[in-house]
Amino acid sequence: MGRAVCVTVWLMVGALAAPAPAAGQAALTPADSAILNSQPLKRLVLAPSLLRRLSLLAAGLDREVVLCLQGTVVGDTALVREFAMPDIVHSSVDAVTPLPCPPATTLAVWHNHPWVGPDSSFGLRTPEDLCSLSQPDLRTVVADSIPFAVVSVGRAAQPIVCWWRRVQAVVNRHVKFLPRFPRQWLELPGLAGAASGP
Ligand SMILES: [Zn+2]
């Protein structure tokens, strides 16, 4: 849903898990903290089988698509195991316009970012840099009510998956793009049953 826009923003967003705001990173307002704390679902777990299928799809797709991830809720954790594909109005290598995922049955909305090589004008050096929510992505996530957004970077040498709570997108809605969170990224080599970051 749109290529990341500007590398300079990397310095501004950082991770919500950071113990203290880094230099240049906006502090959370009391309202932002209230939003974060009021959302019951804090963790996302992708079933290993689902993760394999998503990674396989992303590896082969040269255009963006959207999938609605479904599963169950246990406490503050969403466990997703299956997906349904919504109708897609428009799809290209760096954008996709789907019909909405049904909010009653969707816990996370997934889409892929096909890796097409480094692009200095967008600050993209590695496929990992493409695991971010672009401004159009953020607008879509904020406008939606689905608790999580998941992105796979496709056509890369290895599976790359990252995700965000919707409330993290709400809190960061004014940034140019929202990178993956470092803590989540560090958990990913285990892939199977990986839990989310902050
Ligand atoms: Zn996107």
Distance 112 CA to ligand 1 centre (A): 7
pLDDT (0 to 100) of residue 192 = 40
Is the sign of the CA dihedral 21, 22, 24, 25 positive or negative?
negative
Q: Can you point out the beta strands (E) in 36-159?
A: 43-46, 66-74, 77-84, 88-92, 95-98, 108-114, 132-134, 148-154
CA angle 62, 63, 67 (to 5 degrees): 120
pLDDT (0 to 100) of residue 130 = 94
Task: Say what percent of the chain tops pLDDT 90.
Answer: 60
Distance 153 CA to ligand 1 centre (A): 10
Distance 151 CA to ligand 1 centre (A): 7
**Residue range 75-92, pLDDT digits in tens:** 999 999 999 999 999 999
**Residue range 37-59, pLDDT digits in tens:** 778 898 999 999 999 999 999 99
Distance 142 CA to ligand 1 centre (A): 13
Q: Look at residue 61 and tell me whether its pLDDT is greater than 80.
A: yes
Q: Look at residue 157 and tell me whether its pLDDT is greater than 50.
A: yes
**Which long-range CB contacts under 8 A does 13-17 form with residues at least 24 apart?**
13/172, 13/175, 13/178, 13/179, 15/181, 15/182, 15/183, 15/197, 15/198, 16/168, 16/171, 16/181, 16/198, 17/181, 17/182, 17/183, 17/197, 17/198
Domains belonging to the chain, first-starting first, are 40-190 (3.40.140.10)
DSSP3 helix / strand / coil % (the chain, rounded to 5)? 30, 30, 40
Q: Please give the model's pTM, rounded to 2 decimal places.
A: 0.78
More confident residue, 18 or 65: 65
Distance 27 CA to ligand 1 centre (A): 25
Separation of alpha carbons 65 and 154, rounded Å: 11
Q: Look at residue 5 and tell me whether its pLDDT is greater than 80.
A: no
Neighbours of ion ligand 1 (CB under 5 A): 1, 137
| Structure confidence at residue 26 as a pLDDT band (50, 70, 90) | low
| Structure confidence at residue 103 as a pLDDT band (50, 70, 90) | very high
